[in-house]
Amino acid sequence: MSTPPFVGVETEYGITVDGPSEVNPVLASSLVVGAYRDADDLEVVWDHTDEHPLRDARGYEHPDPHEPLDDEELGLANTVLTNGARFYVDHAHPEYATPECSNARDLVIWDRAGERILEQAAQRAAARLPAGSRVLIHKNNTDGKGAAYGTHENYLVARGIPFGRLTAALLPFFVTRPVFTGAGRLGSELDPRVDYQLTQRADFFEVEVGLETTLKRPLMNTRDEPHADPGRYRRLHVINGDATLCEVATLLKVGTMLLVLESIEAGTSPVLPTLENPVAAFHAVSHDLGCRRVLRFSDGTRATALEVQERYLDAAATTARRRGTSPGEEDVLTRWEGVLATASRDPRALAGQVDWATKLDLLEAYRERHDLGWAHDRLKMVDLQYHDVRRDKGLYHRLAARGRVERLVTDAEVEAAVLTPPTDTRAWFRGECIRKFGTEVVAAGWDALVFDVGRDALQRVPMLDPARGTRALLGEVLDAVDDASGLLERLRG
């Protein structure tokens, strides 16, 4: 693969404070992030210098009608962690953005580390509230009352691939992947006849292509903010996916995308006609628990979501195996083929691997045991509790503890990832500098670190290449210096 397969995922977590005092979501989120930051003595703020969220991949930049506010003015907590991740408040939610990862399995590990960080942060925040208060955190995408919040995937893509080509190649993939990426949810904003559906996000999407992420959500987001060398790369900002808990689902969500992007770059992705109405098709796939709904294409052909996914699998497998796959990529291809084969026989047999099917099993059993209708409030509580990040309360975690969902990574790997970064991306340099040099690092971004070493001006170290800043490249340098001044001297030399 000519473009390095880097990936990161940002997750906005649902938050509620239960107790004697009412706490609004913005304050609650700030308490959660602030409590974690303060307890670990993390003072590194986010560097917004090279951020351009209104720059559009279609070739222009939207004007911002608002005067920019920094985090201090907003009163929002924001920090960078020793594992290379960003932890902050966004749209009244605590948000965890994983460090850059070089493969799908590592992404699973550092995404899971985010759950542990949120669990710890909620406990610390509750200690700052009146007695009897609980801070409840859920890894989901809707509050069940008409509001949605995001899980965004980010992939490095060659700048030379026209954005229109990416859009045409990816829309059918995005529409049909909920078969294995959906987190499942009760009800629908669009159709009262829908008792349960595959995804939490689909109903909230309204247009095919656009820059927005909170209104008129597009299947294909056009934000052109690469966080890397803009002459070589773009960042594909994918906003249509769900927050997944099942490790197989998370692995497939990002692993299949990495392989599909390689086939697009190689010119070997499936040539599919345009869907007649991609947004309506996205809704239809989500509402179809049997995975049998036929989708219509502009040339009059028809196919089910599973048939479309098989086309992408065949192309991705051929492309990857031609150049030689890693064991991790081979695992993704094998699992991708397996979930499609299982879904073709009985989609509900995906329980234990895919969130929507795993949760549906729980809901069906509870509903039948208590003779409840699909709209009953007790069933809604089961739906929500599935996503609780507390390992002793969250229903997903209780299933995992009983061996009823498949695990791909170990608890020891996840606990280590709470504090340490991946070793093979620039996240290693970011996280290790924060750990080793403490207050000398005053700010960090994806593509830069800012040091205060007592000179007249702050010292900014750019990191435009996600493949540099690894332990293999800079481990000896960091081991050889005692402070940031020494590091800067070595880097200049």
The string of pLDDT tens digits covering residues 191-203 is 999 999 999 999 9
What distance in Å separates the CA atoms of residue 36 and residue 419, rounded to the nearest whole number? 12
**According to the model, what pLDDT value does residue 69 have?**
43
**According to the model, what pLDDT value does residue 62 have?**
57
**According to the model, what pLDDT value does residue 51 have?**
58
Domains, in order of start, for the chain: 7-415 (3.30.590)
465 is catalytic: no
**According to the model, what pLDDT value does residue 370 have?**
97
The average pLDDT across 259-263 equals 97
Q: Each residue of 378-393: pLDDT tens digit?
A: 999 999 999 999 999 9
- 470-to-155, 426, 481 alpha-carbon distances in Å: 18, 5, 16
Q: Each residue of 164-174: pLDDT tens digit?
A: 999 999 999 99
User: Is the pLDDT at 66 greater than 50, yes or no?
Assistant: no
Q: What predicted TM-score, i.e. pTM, was given to this entire model?
A: 0.94
Mean pLDDT estimate for the chain: 93
**According to the model, what pLDDT value does residue 456 have?**
86
The model's confidence at residue 75, banded by pLDDT at 50, 70 and 90, is: very low
Q: Are 141 and 201 in contact, with CB atoms under 8 Å apart?
A: yes
**According to the model, what pLDDT value does residue 321 have?**
95
The model's confidence at residue 55, banded by pLDDT at 50, 70 and 90, is: low
CA-nearest of 445, 449, 463, 454 to 485 is 454
Other CB atoms within 10 A of residue 468 CB: 12
User: Is the pLDDT at 50 greater than 80, yes or no?
Assistant: no
**According to the model, what pLDDT value does residue 53 have?**
61
> Which residue in 90, 143, 361, 452 is the catalytic one?
90
CA-nearest of 130, 93, 134 to 114 is 93
**According to the model, what pLDDT value does residue 68 have?**
44
**According to the model, what pLDDT value does residue 40 have?**
75
**According to the model, what pLDDT value does residue 21 have?**
84
**According to the model, what pLDDT value does residue 72 have?**
46
User: Is the pLDDT at 49 greater than 80, yes or no?
Assistant: no
The model's confidence at residue 67, banded by pLDDT at 50, 70 and 90, is: very low
Residue partners of 281: CB distance under 8 A and separation at least 6: 175, 275, 295, 296
**According to the model, what pLDDT value does residue 64 have?**
46
Residue partners of 335: CB distance under 8 A and separation at least 6: 248, 251, 252, 255
User: Is the pLDDT at 287 greater than 50, yes or no?
Assistant: yes
